[in-house]
Every structure is written in structure tokens, then in C-alpha cells.
Amino acid sequence: MTAIQNKPVDPTAHLSDEDVEALGRELDAIRDSVLADRGARDAAYIRKVIDVQRKLELASRGVLLLSLFPPAWVAGTVGLSISKILENMEIGHNVMHGQWDWMRDPKVHSTTWEWDNASPADMWKHSHNELHHTYTNVLGRDNDLGYGIMRVDEDQRWMPFYLAQPLWNLLNACVFEYGIAAYDLEIGKHLKAKKRGTADVAAFQAQLRNVLQKVKKQATRDYLVHPLLSGPSALPTLGANVTANLVRNLWTHSVIMCGHFPEGVETFTKTSIEGETRGQWYLRQMLGAANISGGEALHLMTGNLSFQVEHHLFPDLPSNRYKEIAPQVQDVFARYGLTYVTGSMPKQLASAWGKVVRLSLPNGFLSRRTAKAVPVALVQRVRPARAEERAAA
Amino acid sequence: MTTVTPPQTRSARPRLRDRLVKLAEAAATPLVPADYLDLVDPLRSGAALRARIVAVQPETRDAATLVLQPGRGWAGHVPGQYVRLGVDVDGVRQWRTYSLTSPADRADGLIAITVKAIPDGVVSNHLVRAATAGTVLQLDQAAGDFVLPTPRPAKALFVTAGSGITPVMGMLRSALHELDDVVLVHSAPTADDVVFAAELRALAADGRIRLVEKHTDVDGMLGTAELDALVPDLAEREAWACGPTGMLDLLEGHWESRGLAGRLHTERFRPLVVAAGEGGTVTFSRTGAEVEADGATPLLQAGEEAGVLMPSGCRMGICFGCVLPLRSGAVRDLRNGDLTTAAEGDGVLVQTCVSAAAGPCDLDV
């Protein structure tokens, strides 16, 4: 994709300013209808999910005490993986968004929640809620566009480093919780500021200490305490925890990729959001996310991020409501001539990975060459790019 | 030679316990062990105080008694005291205070509150009409000084109206056998609206109390001259009054004019609003929220509307469940107009339910 402002045909060109504001009002009305009706049914839903997740975790960890016995290992590992995914996605992510703050329950509140993930809640809330959800898909502002290690848009400048990005992406997927923690620390930004001499070293170190402390606690629980409690089953239990964390990492990474990277999702230039109205903000969210189609189980396991479009429009509405308002949201898309990007998980995942592979090469690189000519052309391209980088440095 | 138990064995037990607690915490992080134990037994000892509804018994057309099983941490109460209850109404946790109506020493350990549904009362209507047995509520320890003294007074007078009977019922059920001479003047719109009517009338029929029922729909409001006539020996009695603000104001004035101010004890269910603040920007610094609040809006309400997790209780300035440190700025007490100011870092404690902004202010929440 290319930022819509740089495209030959802007997919929003047919909308007048009045249209955009009218669209904003329609979406506000959808939001208001949910707020007016939010209540006991929603509260019962999240409490049920939390209850089921905790019991599943307890049961799985209990079964893993006997994980020397292979069926116990399999059952415990599957249960723990599902429990960790539920905890991160449908519970943690959404509670920390403030979706359940209206219940005024200090135990289920964005300001008190801590999740089963390497990144401390406070740091994650800043980089996710404040940065990503505010600057969604704005090039140079939304770091979720490639997490600073990948090129996922034609308008991001190609560098030789990106040649290996399919590999970076796979590695990041395997250790995704640590990837998120490193990303929430904004290490790149800190290093740049350090170079300029404007870095707040003490603040960065304090945050780094928080992360390391959290990582230590998490690792102690999964890789030391629970294995030791398993006695003779210590090693299989260790393996089960490693596996469950890996499964959780791969799954969450995949869900996130499907949310913003599939073909058809639009990006925006840095200056395009200056003086953005409510209607324009909504329009950007509509075009900057993609859904995953599927059944109830998929929606639950993605934390309803399978309704990424609805989530980006209304990040603080209870997640169980996204599927209910999806038909109304699709209707708005249709009436305003906009494309609601959705597809099955395999399709969206393939599309996102396709983009990661395609953009590891300079723009239009493959279309202009035969397969045989690619390696030579790449070498020719890498040398001047390197020289350019050195000159820039 | 006698064997002396080495002191280490005594201290080793707590140390072992500490270690087990640490281990449980390490196994439960980022949650705490209590989060898992709550799944099994929310009323266990050591848990945050809660209560389970055992039964809901209708009293009148708009009042009901809730019999509650308090958690193991319940420290008991003195009759006349109230409790803070956290009730989830339509998914939202709401805190209110209710007088305890059960005797203090029930053998089964249960306690009871009696709730009268007030018009537009979110919690009272829910408790009277929708609460079901088995529901777990949040609970706080009993509090309040609207209680009988020891030794008991030789002659007692209770003047109540509507749900104002509730703390007095708690006293009568617990201590009537220690009171020789009790007069109860109770007002309610009609005979059918009298909460605990059967029990009170039975006590009167047995000669245990003298009961004066005033049915205000027919008889009109109780006047002070009328009260003097009904209770000629009023000046000899220690008195307790509970009911609407108007009645309490009237009685306090009357007792004062007769030079008996010290003998009247009152319990208010509504704050007395006399002064508005100036309004201003309220900052909830820990949450990072900021709102413009006018001078009549309690800080508690302003915070709740801004999505801040505000502690709360009676919402009328008596239970101190809503108190927060004022980091800086000025607030005005809505009941008496008193101004409280705090300089940076002072952390003056203010009751957010009866205080409004009087200029910019910063709350530590």
C-alpha cells in the first residue's frame, strides 16, 4: 500500500467534507446506542470470561504437576496455552483499554490491571492506547507499522536491513511478548535521542528496570516455580510453559498482523492528520484496520480483535459488543462507498506475510525483473543504499 | 533439668508461613493468590470483606429486609450502626450505607439490613425489587455512633420517620430487655407503610414499648407542640431521632430551645447542602484525568463521571468511605460552606461526596 494521500486515486476522494462529518455522526450514534444499553449482561460476560480463564489456568497447572505422563502434558499444555491467550487478548488487552472501567470494580479496571506478559501494563497502555490508537497507520507516527524493525508500507524507505525482514518477523513472532516489551520501551527513539544528547537517561533506565523486574517475575513463575512444584515432572512442566508461551506469542503476533498489515488496509501521511476532525479520525480508523472472519471461538481467542475495525472505531466499548455492531458498521461502509477489509485468518495471514516478503525488497522490484536477474540487481541496489546510509550517519 | 523450648521453633513457624506466602505469590503473579482463592470462597477469612445474600424478605410494598452472611472477617456491630455495601446494579459497582436491623448477637452469625426503595434510588430499588439470594456483595465494617450508651438510659424516646426506623429497630431487637421505659413515635404515610409494623405493634400490645404511630397522609406531619403533648416527660428522656432532614432540623431546634440539646442524638440520611463552591478544574492526578466541575457537583460525582475509580460510601458525608487526599487547590464543604485549601504536597483529606471544587484542585487518585 501507499499512503492514501500519495495514491493516484484516493479511495476517499468521492466523499465531501460534509459526507465525512455525517459519517462521523452515524458512528457516534452507534457508539451512543451501545453506551445507553451497556449493563448487567456485559458485566456478566467479562466476569464469566475471567472466571473461566482462571479456572482453566488452575486446572491446567494442576494437570501439569503430573506432566511426566504424556497425556497430562498434552492436556495441560493445551489448557495453559488457551488460558494465556484468553488472559492476554479478551481480558488483558480489553481491560487495559478501559472497556470495563464503567463497572467501577477495582479488580477489573484499566488503572489496576496487570497482565501475563513481559511488558508492564503502564508502559503498554502508553504505547498502545495513546500512540497506536491515536496515530493509527500514520507513517512516522504509528510505530505499530512494522514496529520499527520492518517495512510494511511502500512509503517507508527501503534499506538493505529489510531484506531479512521475513526472518525478523518470524523471530519476533516466537518471542513476541519480549518484542512488545522492547517496543514499548521505545529503544530506537531513546538511542536517537541519546545521539542528539536529548535523552532522559534516568527515565529510560527506570522503565528498563520495570521491564526487567516484570520479565524476572514472569520467568520465575513459568520456568522455575511451577516446574519445581511439579517435582519429578519438573522438566516436562518447564517444557509445557515454554510451549504455552510460544503458542501464545505466535497466536497474538498472527492476530496483530491480521489487524493492520493485510493488503487493502490504508496508511496516511504525517501531515494529513493535522487539524483532523472527529469524522476524519473515524474515516482513518475505518480504513486503517482489517477484520478476520470466523466463528465464536475465533472471536473469543482473538479478544474480538477479529473485529479490529470496530475496535479501532470504538476502542473503549466492551469487546462483546463488537460483533453486535459489526452489521451496522458494515452498512456505514457500504453506504459511503468504502471498503470493509475482512477475510479468513489463513487468507489475511497470507496477505500480511506476502506484504512482509514483498516489501523486504525495494518497491516494484519483482515486477520489473525476471527471477534470475533479482540477485544481481539486489547487490547493485544494496551498495549505493549502504553508501547513502553512511553518508547520512 | 528442665527442657527449655528453643525460641527458634516458635519463630520458625511464621517464617515458614512467610515463605509459603511468597511462594504462592510467585506462582500467582501478576495476580495475587487471593484472586484464585476468591473463585472458591469469597467469604473466607483474610479475603476482602464481602457478604452473601441469604434471603430477601419483603416488609412493605417498597421495603425489604436482606439477610446477609458476612465474610469471616466481619468484626460485629453495635445496634444502631450502619454498614457500607457495594452492590453491582446493572453491572456498575455502587456503594451505599444502610443501618443494621438485626440484633448484634445472632447465633447463626447472620446480619440484616432493611432497605426502603426511594424514588429514583438506583441501589435501593435494586435491593428491594431485584436482589436475589446467593448474590455476593461488597461489605465494609460497621460504623457510626448512633448507638445506645451503657449503662442504658432509664427512659428512652425514639422519634423516627420512614426508613428512619431501621437503626432504632436494631437497637430494640438487641437491647429492649435492658430498657425499662421506651416511647417510640414513628411517622409513615399510611398504616401499611410502617416498616416492621407487626413486630412493633406486638411489642406495644405486650406493653414492652409505648408506640405512637403517626400516619402523615391523614394526620399531617408531626409538630413539636404535638410531640410535647404526646410525650409529656420528654425532658426526662434520652432521645434518638432518625428520618428526613426537615424533621431532624425541626427536632434539633426544639430540643435546643428547651435547653436539652445534649440529650438528642440524630442520624441523617441526606447531606444538608447549604453552600456551593466556586467550581473549577479538578485533576485526578494518578488517573491522569481532568474535568471542569461546577460548584454544586460533589467531587465524587465529577470523578465517577470522568471514569475515575472513586472510593465511595454513604454519599452524604457521614461514613468517610470516600475520603481522598487533596494534593493542592481548594474545595468547599457543601454542608457548611467551609473552605479547605491544600498547598502542593499537603495531602489534606477531604470527603469527596460533600465537597465541590472551589477553584482548581488536584486529588490524589
Q: Residues B226-264: pLDDT tens digits?
A: 999 999 999 999 999 999 989 999 999 999 999 998 999
CB pairs under 8 A between A and B: 68
A103/B92 touch (CB, cutoff 8 Å), yes or no? yes
pTM score of the predicted model: 0.89
pLDDT value of residue A199 = 85
Given a cut of 80, whether residue B271 has pLDDT beyond it is no
Over residues B215-226, the mean pLDDT reads 95
B 89-108 → A contacts, CB under 8 A: 90-94
Q: Residues B149-163: pLDDT tens digits?
A: 999 999 999 999 999
Look at the alpha carbons of B216, B219, B225, B230 in this order and tell me if their dihedral is positive or negative: negative
CATH code assigned to B280-363: 3.10.20.30
Q: Under a CB-based contact definition with an 8 Å cutoff, are residues A169 and A357 in contact?
A: no
Over residues A156-177, the mean pLDDT reads 94
B29 to chain A, any CB pair closer than 8 A? The answer is yes
A228 to chain B, any CB pair closer than 8 A? The answer is no
Rg, C-alpha atoms of chain B = 24
Which CATH fold would you assign to the domain B50-139? Elongation Factor Tu (Ef-tu); domain 3 (2.40.30)
Domain boundaries defined on chain B: 50-139, 155-268, 280-363
Instruction: List Cβ neighbours of A47 (8 Å cut-off, separation of 6 or more).
Output: A108
Question: What is the CB-side half-sphere exposure of residue A297 using CA atoms within 13 A?
Answer: 1
Given a cut of 80, whether residue A250 has pLDDT beyond it is yes
pLDDT value of residue B182 = 98
* Cell numbers given for B307: 471514569
Query: CA–CA separation, A149 vs A170, rounded Å?
Result: 12
Looking at the complex, report in whole angstroms how far the Cα of residue A391 sits from the nearest Cα belonging to chain B: 43
A39/B92 touch (CB, cutoff 8 Å), yes or no? yes
Given a cut of 90, whether residue B167 has pLDDT beyond it is yes
A283 to chain B, any CB pair closer than 8 A? The answer is no
Instruction: Say which residue, A344 or A6, is predicted with more confidence.
Output: A344
Can you tell me the ipTM of this complex? 0.89
Instruction: Say which residue, B353 or B13, is predicted with more confidence.
Output: B353
A104 to chain B, any CB pair closer than 8 A? The answer is yes
pLDDT value of residue A111 = 87
pLDDT value of residue B343 = 83
Given a cut of 60, whether residue A85 has pLDDT beyond it is yes
pLDDT value of residue B169 = 98
Residue B149, number of CB atoms within 10 A of its CB: 8
Given a cut of 50, whether residue A281 has pLDDT beyond it is yes
Please list every residue in chain B whose beta carbon sits closer than 8 Å to the beta carbon of residue A107: 35
Given a cut of 70, whether residue B7 has pLDDT beyond it is no
Please list every residue in chain A whose beta carbon sits closer than 8 Å to the beta carbon of residue B309: 101, 104, 106, 109, 111-112
Element at A40 (helix H, strand E)? helix A40-64
pLDDT value of residue A385 = 67
Q: Given pLDDT bands bounded at 50, 70 and 90, which one contains residue B275? A: low
Residue B280, number of CB atoms within 10 A of its CB: 20
Pairing of strands B210-215, B238-243: unpaired
Mean pLDDT of chain A: 93
Q: Which CATH number fits domain B155-268: 3.40.50.80, 1.10.730.10, 3.40.50.2300, 3.40.640.10?
A: 3.40.50.80
Selected residue of A84, A104, A228, A229 to mutate for chain B interface (largest B Cβ count, 10 A):
A104
Q: Name residue A361's amino acid.
A: L
Selected residue of A54, A111, A213 to mutate for chain B interface (largest B Cβ count, 10 A):
A111
- Mean pLDDT is highest, among A232-236, B271-275, B282-286, B347-351, for A232-236
A116/B94 touch (CB, cutoff 8 Å), yes or no? no
A226 to chain B, any CB pair closer than 8 A? The answer is yes
Query: CA–CA separation, B347 vs B355, rounded Å?
Result: 15
Q: Residues A297-310: pLDDT tens digits?
A: 999 999 999 999 99
How far is C-alpha B48 from the chain's CA centre? 18
Rg, C-alpha atoms of chain A = 22
Please list every residue in chain A whose beta carbon sits closer than 8 Å to the beta carbon of residue B93: 103-105
Query: CA–CA separation, A213 vs A189, rounded Å?
Result: 22
Over residues B24-35, the mean pLDDT reads 96
Over residues A113-139, the mean pLDDT reads 93
A41 to chain B, any CB pair closer than 8 A? The answer is yes
Q: A282-295 burial string, b = 16+ CB within 10 Å, else e?
A: bbbbbbbbbbbeee
pLDDT value of residue B195 = 97
Q: Residues A2-34: pLDDT tens digits?
A: 788 888 888 999 999 999 999 999 999 999 999
Phi, psi torsion values for B329, nearest 5 degrees: 105, -165
Given a cut of 60, whether residue B8 has pLDDT beyond it is no
Query: CA–CA separation, B167 vs A306, rounded Å?
Result: 54
Q: Residues A182-205: pLDDT tens digits?
A: 989 988 888 888 889 888 899 999
Mean pLDDT of chain B: 92
* Cell numbers given for A249: 506469542
Given a cut of 90, whether residue B220 has pLDDT beyond it is yes
* Cell numbers given for A96: 487495559
Query: CA–CA separation, A286 vs A283, rounded Å?
Result: 5
Partnered with residue A3 across adjacent β-strands are: A267
Q: Residues B66-117: pLDDT tens digits?
A: 999 999 999 999 999 999 999 999 999 999 999 999 999 899 999 999 999 9
Strands (DSSP E) along chain A, which ranges? 291-293, 342-344
Instruction: Say which residue, A156 or A239, is predicted with more confidence.
Output: A239
Of the candidates B220, B221, B256, the residue with the CA atom closest to the CA atom of residue B239: B256
Query: CA–CA separation, B172 vs B104, rounded Å?
Result: 11
Q: Under a CB-based contact definition with an 8 Å cutoff, are residues A45 and A296 in contact?
A: no
Which residue in chain A is spatially nearest to B31 when comparing CA positions?
A114
Query: CA–CA separation, A74 vs A239, rounded Å?
Result: 11
Query: CA–CA separation, B355 vs B334, rounded Å?
Result: 6
Q: Under a CB-based contact definition with an 8 Å cutoff, are residues B327 and B344 in contact?
A: yes
